[in-house]
Amino acid sequence: MNTETIRQILSERIMLLDGGLGTQLQLAGITGCPDLACLDHPEVVREIHERYLEAGSDFVETDSFSANAISLEGYDRAADAYAISLAAARIAREAADKYTALTPERPRFVVGSMGPTSKSATLAPLMDDPVTPEDFENAYYDQARGLVEGGADVLLLETMVDSLNIRCGLNAIKKLSEEKGVQIPVMVSASLTDSFGRLLSGESIEELWAQIKDDGLFSFGLNCSMGAELLFPFVEKLAATADVFVSVHPNAGLPNPAGGYDETPEMFAAHMKAMVDAVIVNIAGGCCGTTPEHIRLLKQVTNGAAPRKI
């Protein structure tokens, strides 16, 4: 894993994640579970990664957001979670290595994407759902194992809305780390569910950080949620609270009535610039509705900008 290289770069500048993947797959005509494209259409997934790398991304996120047994159960593909995660990491690794070879002075990295699953660990018992914390840990373990063995540099628990889901994910990664005898760097990125800045499970940013601050995280951040403009005060609060790298990759604004996103690359870049100018970010990118052009303009905004100091 390239943890120390990434740390060194982050001490010098802001590093960029990529943007939305699911919407790019839809534009390519792929519907249904996006993660299955890693097995059925790997060339399309690779091409999307390369477009983001060309636009300026330092990291590409694997197409594995839902590649866990709990989420894949709805597609009758739970048994394929490990295989999808492994394939997702290998595809992203190939794309990242290609661009590293083209620009050795600017290495590119792979972030293993691990979403919140399709269920809430906190709410499941209240809804008489038989899924248990052990089920969540097992699902995250298989996903993490596939991503690490496929070549991911970092694992990212993203769009997390439930603190118990996060705990299950961290426990699973810790188990894998101990078995492999390596330190696996972990990023955690929460998604806020209301204008007060709380998770679905009720915690504020400060309360969530208090729960996970001793887990040796690589970074802590926010993604998805309500767009960069509305996220600003919460990222500012997070940056003042956490003593690790801070990441942010918001949606392209709030969804419109049709479920789409109307924030143009120019608008997105302007809203992200406010965070960059406030020096509260180390890692930046985009989530739902963002495109390679959003990342291209974000790169312009972050060029020469000072990273947040930790």
Residues 6+ apart with CB under 8 A from 12: 307
Overall average pLDDT of the 302-308 stretch? 96
CA distances from 271 to 15, 21, 235, 280 (A): 17, 21, 12, 13
Query: Quick check: 133 and 121 in contact, CB under 8 A?
Result: yes
- Chain segment 9-32, per-residue pLDDT in tens: 999 999 999 999 998 999 999 999
Biggest alpha carbon distance in the chain? 54
Single-letter code of the amino acid located at 257: P
Under DSSP, the state recorded for 196 is T
Lowest pLDDT segment from 129-138, 209-218, 294-303: 129-138
With cut-offs at 50, 70 and 90, classify the pLDDT of residue 194: confident
CA atoms within 13 A on the CB side of 112: 31
- Greater pLDDT, 159 or 194: 159
Overall average pLDDT of the 238-242 stretch? 96
In the predicted structure, residue 151 carries a pLDDT above the cut 90: yes
Residue 123 has what pLDDT? 83
CA distances from 139 to 83, 127, 150 (A): 13, 20, 17
**Strands 186-190 and 109-114: what pairing?**
unpaired
DSSP letters spanning 230-273: HHHHHHHHHHHH-SSEEEEEE-SSSB-TTS-B---HHHHHHHHH
Please, what CATH class does the domain formed by 3-302 belong to? alpha beta
- Chain segment 86-130, per-residue pLDDT in tens: 999 999 999 999 999 999 999 999 999 999 999 999 887 667 778
Residue 126 has what pLDDT? 64
With cut-offs at 50, 70 and 90, classify the pLDDT of residue 297: very high
Q: Which two tokens stand for residue 127?
A: 């809804």
CA atoms within 13 A on the CB side of 11: 6
Lowest pLDDT segment from 24-33, 141-150, 253-262: 253-262
Helix (H) / strand (E) containing 144: helix 133-150
- Chain segment 35-78, per-residue pLDDT in tens: 999 999 999 999 999 999 999 999 999 999 999 999 999 999 99
Overall average pLDDT of the 303-307 stretch? 96
Strands, sheet with 109-114, edge to edge from the N-terminal-most edge strand: 15-16, 283-284, 245-250, 219-224, 186-190, 154-160, 109-114, 59-61
